[in-house]
């Protein structure tokens, strides 16, 4: 696996980052054992970049990652996020008014909680998970700057910002000499290319690394969903029984299914396979074969 610089820094990361949103997710994810197998397979393939978040499976994803870090923390670039409330089920209300957001209070407490779950004394890349309409951005930026100065965070990033929000944040960092965001983690796939109009040019202008999330369109681009109706219970959207759920409709819709159908035809023309996640064997074996297929297809 190749390595590249993370944004405009000297930090080197593998060209494929392993996202851990489904680790320990009871509804549609994989259990701890399978999660650790996937991490081992990823590291054996040359990867060194893990991305998690406090909100993933109510903190369980971070706890699983902590076990994978044992004895090899220095070899792994670890990213996590803070903003959303850590609750039993994503979307549930926070325990109290200050248990969410990007305020100085919440981000500081959220980072400390992540450090405990991950059993580490520093985070390589700490990301603000979402823009906060209620907290002044200068409060968030000043807080992140102090977290870096404390040594608990090495670099800071953002996720799910609009282009103008990234520009405003960068200009404030320039004005006050605060630690700038070096990465933007955004939804990006053949099913959702919105960031090409604004976010991508802004990231290029400021030398920020772009970390796409959901590059397979929530799994729709794998071809495993046959329609917008019933889906296998073990899949992400099969676990959401309500076909009118906003999250499900955003991914599993006629437009995206048509894109997936078109994508399915392209590898066949190149003599490749599109069935990345339909391989036999253990979770680790499937991941390794999927990785190999993705890399071969990208060279075609």
Token match 């996937």: residue? 38
CA 55 vs CA 86, 142, 185, 248: distances in Å? 5, 23, 15, 19
Q: Please confirm, yes or no, whether 56 is among the known catalytic residues.
A: yes
Q: Look at the alpha carbons of 259, 264, 265, 266 in this order and tell me if their dihedral is positive or negative.
A: positive
Q: Of 125, 120, 174, 131, nearest to 9 (Cα)? A: 125
* DSSP run (H or E) holding 23: none
HEC sequence for 173-208? HHHHCCCCEEEEEEECECCECHHHHCHHHHHHHHCC
What is the spatial order of strands in the sheet that 123-128 belongs to?
18-19, 49-51, 77-82, 123-128, 153-159, 181-187, 209-213
> Nearest to residue 194, comparing CAs of 230, 161, 233?
161
Selected catalytic residue, list 42, 56, 155, 188: 56
For residue 296, the surrounding DSSP H or E stretch is: helix 283-299
Query: Could you list the active site residues?
Result: 56
């Amino acid at each position: 696996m190749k390595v590249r610089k993370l944004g405009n820094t000297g930090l080197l990361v593998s060209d494929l980052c392993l996202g851990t949103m489904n680790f320990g997710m009871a509804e549609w994810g994989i259990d701890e054992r399978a999660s650790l197998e996937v991490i081992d397979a990823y590291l054996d393939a040359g990867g060194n970049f893990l991305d998690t978040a406090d909100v993933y499976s109510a903190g369980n994803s971070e706890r699983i990652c902590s076990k994978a870090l044992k004895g090899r923390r220095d070899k792994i670039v670890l990213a996590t996020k803070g903003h959303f409330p850590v609750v039993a089920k994503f979307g549930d209300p926070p325990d109290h008014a200050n248990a969410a957001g990007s305020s100085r209070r919440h981000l500081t407490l959220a980072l400390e909680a992540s450090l405990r779950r991950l059993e580490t004394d520093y985070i390589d890349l700490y990301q603000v998970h979402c823009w906060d309409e209620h907290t002044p951005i200068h409060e968030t930026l000043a807080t992140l700057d102090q977290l870096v100065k404390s040594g608990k965070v090495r670099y800071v990033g953002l996720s799910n910002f609009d282009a103008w929000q990234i520009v405003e944040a960068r200009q404030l960092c320039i004005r006050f000499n605060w630690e700038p965001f070096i990465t933007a983690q955004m939804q990006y796939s053949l099913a959702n290319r919105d960031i090409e109009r604004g976010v991508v040019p802004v990231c290029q202008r400021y030398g920020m690394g772009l970390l796409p999330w959901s590059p397979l369109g929530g799994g729709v681009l794998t071809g495993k969903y046959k329609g917008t109706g019933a889906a296998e219970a073990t899949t992400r959207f099969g676990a959401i029984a309500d076909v009118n759920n906003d999250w499900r409709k955003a991914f599993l819709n006629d437009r995206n299914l048509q894109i997936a159908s078109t994508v399915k035809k392209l590898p066949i023309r190149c003599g490749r396979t599109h069935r990345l996640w339909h391989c036999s064997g253990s979770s680790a074996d499937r991941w390794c074969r999927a990785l190999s297929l993705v890399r071969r297809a990208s060279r075609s």
